[in-house]
């Protein structure tokens, strides 16, 4: 962990893999998390999401072109009070807004990542144009290149992209999104709070984060969503739009892992509208 020693100016006494390219690193005075890779987008996202303290996120302690070092958060157990506080905090975070749909965090790069797959953050005037151009079409093309979709299946997604602005999605300003808020990036801490980690932050539609929370089963989801809706009421029909907003992560998973994700995404595309 020479990089951590260089970035923090402290001697490392122990490092433990956390999975992927992340490590739990202990120095003489503290425990931190170090992650290696293209980390500029994540560092910018953490700073942006943590600007007002609406939802706790790890503090960026140091970063360069290859390494990101953040504070370490000790994992705890899910609880009702924490879920409700998180729901209210997430509503406040979303309301902080963004420059445009698809816009990167300030200082963040256009070329970012969603898990193992590249993701572009490019500003658009409308959610429909952003979602079609940056979150559906690129991954459908990649899935087709991998043989997961044929011409008929691609045409289903292309037809949906043309109809996005006709689906009755309520007009709202762009929200400040975490962007990858699946249950693995929702950390229940020992201090009774919920932290967000590993963001793919950008300006987007707030229902996108909520749909991601539902995709793989976040604990206490009903209490979380009720608290969110009470703090910032959601538009009519938002539950029926969950699948629409889950298309993006499902397509990313299809490209990265194949399997049943491609079929799930196609079924949603066929059923929308």
Q: What is the pLDDT of residues 25-43, one digit of tens each?
A: 999 899 999 999 999 999 9
Q: What is the pLDDT of residues 48-87, one digit of tens each?
A: 999 999 999 999 999 999 999 999 999 999 999 999 999 9
Cβ(212)–Cβ(189) below 8 Å: no
CATH number for 184: 3.90.1200.10
Asked, for residue 52, whether it belongs to a domain, the answer is: no
Cβ(177)–Cβ(201) below 8 Å: yes
Task: Give the domain extent around 107.
Answer: 73-271
Asked, for residue 47, whether it belongs to a domain, the answer is: no
Asked, for residue 219, whether it belongs to a domain, the answer is: yes
pTM above 0.75, yes or no: yes
Q: Residue 240: exposed, middle, or buried by beta-carbon count in 10 A (0-12, 13-18, 19+)?
A: exposed
Cβ(104)–Cβ(98) below 8 Å: no
Asked, for residue 174, whether it belongs to a domain, the answer is: yes
- Which residues contact residue 270 at a Cβ distance below 8 angstroms, ignoring those fewer than 6 apart? 156
The pLDDT score that the predictor gives to residue 272 is 86
Cβ(35)–Cβ(68) below 8 Å: yes
Q: Examine the pLDDT at 1 and tell me if it is beyond 90.
A: no
Closest Cα to residue 207, out of 215, 219, 199?
215
Asked, for residue 48, whether it belongs to a domain, the answer is: no
The pLDDT score that the predictor gives to residue 19 is 87
Q: Examine the pLDDT at 268 and tell me if it is beyond 70.
A: yes
Distance CA(114)–CA(137), nearest Å, equals 15
Asked, for residue 49, whether it belongs to a domain, the answer is: no
Q: What is the pLDDT of residues 86-127, one digit of tens each?
A: 999 999 999 999 999 999 999 999 999 998 999 999 999 999
Asked, for residue 4, whether it belongs to a domain, the answer is: no
The pLDDT score that the predictor gives to residue 273 is 63
Domain count, the chain: 1
Q: Examine the pLDDT at 185 and tell me if it is beyond 80.
A: yes
Asked, for residue 147, whether it belongs to a domain, the answer is: yes
Q: Examine the pLDDT at 258 and tell me if it is beyond 90.
A: no
Distance CA(150)–CA(134), nearest Å, equals 20
Other Cβ atoms less than 10 A from the Cβ of 110: the count is 13
């Amino acid at each position: 962990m020479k990089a951590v020693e260089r970035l923090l100016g402290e001697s490392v006494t122990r490092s433990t893999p956390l999975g992927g390219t992340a490590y739990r690193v202990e120095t003489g005075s503290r425990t931190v998390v170090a992650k290696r890779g293209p980390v500029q987008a994540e560092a910018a996202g953490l700073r942006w999401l943590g600007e007002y303290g609406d939802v706790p996120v790890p503090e960026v302690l140091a970063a360069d072109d290859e390494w990101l070092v953040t504070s370490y958060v000790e994992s705890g157990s899910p609880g009702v009070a924490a879920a409700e506080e998180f729901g209210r905090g997430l509503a406040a975070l979303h309301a902080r807004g963004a420059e445009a749909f698809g816009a990167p965090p300030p200082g963040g790069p256009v070329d970012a990542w969603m898990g193992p797959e590249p993701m572009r953050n490019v500003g658009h005037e409308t959610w429909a144009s952003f979602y079609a151009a940056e979150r559906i079409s690129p991954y459908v093309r990649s899935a087709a290149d991998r043989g997961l979709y044929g011409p008929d299946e691609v045409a289903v997604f292309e037809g949906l992209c043309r109809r996005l602005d006709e689906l009755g999605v309520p007009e709202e300003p762009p929200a400040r999104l975490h962007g990858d808020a699946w249950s693995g990036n929702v950390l229940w801490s020992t201090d009774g709070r919920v932290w967000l980690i590993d963001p793919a932050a950008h300006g987007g539609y707030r229902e996108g984060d909520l749909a991601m929370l539902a995709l793989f089963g976040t604990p206490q989801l009903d209490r979380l969503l009720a608290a969110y809706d009470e703090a910032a009421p959601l538009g009519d029909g938002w539950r029926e739009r969950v699948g629409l907003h889950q298309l993006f992560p499902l397509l990313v998973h299809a490209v990265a892992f194949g399997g049943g994700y491609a079929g799930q995404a196609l079924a949603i595309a066929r059923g929308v509208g």
